[in-house]
Amino acid sequence: VLEDCGRECGEKILRRMERSLEQLTEKGGKPYASHASFGLSVSTEAPDADGDQLLTLADQAMYENKKRYKESLGEKAPELR
């Protein structure tokens, strides 16, 4: 939960988190890749939503991102499909 942080701010933070995870994976020298899917909801875009509803919206966005990521892998990772 971030106060005074709209969509642009939230997306910027998510990109930083993704880059940090990529760097951590690269530095770790592990024989496997790591990936995380994130979801974002913004209260000003759903002004009537309560906390539970905002969490549900963020969860839905996370699953949409996860699906897009898996689709982007195509035949490179059939076990994820």
Closest CA to 5 of 33, 50, 63, 45: 45
pTM: 0.75
The confidence score (pLDDT) of residue 64 equals: 94
Pair 43, 57: CB distance under 8 Å: no
- Name residues whose C-beta falls within 8 Å of residue 69's C-beta, 6 or more positions apart in sequence: 35, 37
Kind and range of the H or E run holding 34:
none
d(CA 14, CA 58): 12
The confidence score (pLDDT) of residue 25 equals: 82
The confidence score (pLDDT) of residue 80 equals: 57
Pair 60, 39: CB distance under 8 Å: yes
The confidence score (pLDDT) of residue 70 equals: 87
User: Tens of pLDDT along the chain (81 residues)?
Assistant: 888 899 999 999 999 998 998 888 888 777 777 788 999 999 999 999 999 999 999 999 999 999 998 888 877 665 655
